[in-house]
Amino acid sequence: MNPSITTIEDLRRIARRRVPRMFYDYCDSGSWTESTYRANESDFGRIQFRQRVAVDMTDRSLATTMVGQPVAMPLALAPTGMTGMQHADGEILAARAAEAAGVPFTLSTMSICSIEDVAGAVSKPFWFQLYFMRDRSFNDKLIDRAAAAGCSALVLTLDLQILGQRHKDIRNGLSAPPRLTPSTTIDLLTKPRWCWGMMRTKRRTFRNIVGHVEGVQDTRSITAWTSQQFDPRLDWDDVARIRDRWKGPLILKGILDVEDAVRAVGTGAEALIVSNHGGRQLDGAPSSIAVLPEIADAVGSRIEVLMDGGVRSGQDVLKAVALGAKGVFIGRPFLYGLGAGGEAGVTRCLDIIRKELDMTMALCGHRNILDIDRTILRRSDNAATAL
């Protein structure tokens, strides 16, 4: 890609030009007033580093582990729905870029490429994210398919029992593939690169579902099925049943409160993700980084604490690690890269974050990511109030 692309914001601007409006908006928006969506990002900007000088900055290392898996830096690609609508075969391309970068890729239940599609395209295990559906047999089959594909961790999302109102998605008539209305047709005509890619792939709908649920085979039937399937009855007993069925590491996503974090520890899960679903569920909830310190303090010695939400740079990754996260997940940054340039765009995203993380760690006086704690931050005696 163009060497002048040096920030995640550069990738975002390119993606906005190249990706059809409904799919760009799906990526780059939140629920209701989007206050939590904005806070996720802006609250990172209120945290300051302590610059240190006259220290040895040679032989630096970002290597660590996430959920027992060696990673080149404390970062994973988050599960994002309809990734394959940002760019043709998007999940496959992102998984390849993550594998080459030495970080985990997480496939969403609501992906365009199926579990089997991705498994056939990469050589190392990836992670799978599960939405809890009313159809219990479908849940079980998804878990079994993930195990058969060699997925090395299961991410169970807990904060989507009902769907937060996302005004842009409603106005755009979001669907995969897009319905050809006059407005969407006009928009698609301005995105020839995207259209050409979609014409060359057979992966244009939710392939984890189509062909695996009786009667679900086109846009209308899958929309009807999914609108009824997210189960509002999900409770901790259901989490326990999934824990029993899945034999590998279990990660619980969507924890935003200390009481829920304590309950998560009791399930026997290996990790939790401090997350507000990228500001796409409960608008008015706190940012992920705002609650990370209190959750890490409460349960970090008993369960691995990860986080997502608002990460737009390697500096944000370092701030999260300093405040108690073992690692972070990124969603929008890699989607911007994917929309901007396919696999090469995701690779550029990861390169940008790695470079920013490495340089910032050095300028804070450290050479090893494993040594990072709150002492690299100003007002580290009370990091939560710094927000």
- pLDDT for 321 equals 98
Residue-range domains of the chain with CATH = 8-386 (3.20.20.70)
Please give the structure tokens belonging to residue 336.
């911007």
Determine phi and psi for 180, rounding to 5 degrees.
-85, 80
Please give the structure tokens belonging to residue 21.
């409006």
- pLDDT for 387 equals 53
Residue 7, judged by CB atoms within 10 A of its CB (0-12, 13-18, 19+), counts as middle
The CA-atom distances, in angstroms, between 343 and each of 11, 88, 337 are 13, 10, 8
Query: Does residue 306 contact residue 273 with C-beta atoms inside 8 Å?
Result: yes
Q: pTM of the entire structure? A: 0.96
Dihedral (Cα; 342, 343, 349, 350), 10-degree rounding: 170
- pLDDT for 3 equals 84
Mean pLDDT to the nearest integer, 83-96: 98
CA angle 141, 145, 148 (to 5 degrees): 140
pLDDT tier at 191 (50, 70, 90 boundaries)?
A: very high
330-373: pLDDT as tens digits = 999 999 999 999 999 999 999 999 999 999 999 999 999 999 99
- pLDDT for 215 equals 79
Mean pLDDT to the nearest integer, 259-275: 98
The CA-atom distances, in angstroms, between 295 and each of 114, 264, 298, 346, 382 are 34, 11, 5, 30, 14
To the nearest whole number, what is the mean pLDDT of the chain? 95
Q: CB neighbours of 161 closer than 8 A, spacing ≥ 6? A: 132, 230, 231, 232, 233, 234
Active site amino acids: 277
Share of the chain above pLDDT 90, in %: 90
Residue 219 has pLDDT above 80, yes or no: no
H or E element: which one contains 65? strand 64-66
CA angle 67, 72, 78 (to 5 degrees): 55
Please give the structure tokens belonging to residue 71.
């990673």
Residue 110 has pLDDT above 90, yes or no: yes
Q: What is the largest CA-CA distance in the chain?
A: 67
CA distance 217 to 207: 10
Residue 385 has pLDDT above 60, yes or no: no
42-74: pLDDT as tens digits = 999 999 999 999 999 999 999 999 999 999 999
Share of the chain above pLDDT 70, in %: 97
pLDDT tier at 381 (50, 70, 90 boundaries)?
A: very low
CA angle 149, 154, 155 (to 5 degrees): 135
| Count of other CB atoms within 10 angstroms of residue 28 | 18
- pLDDT for 382 equals 45
- pLDDT for 226 equals 81
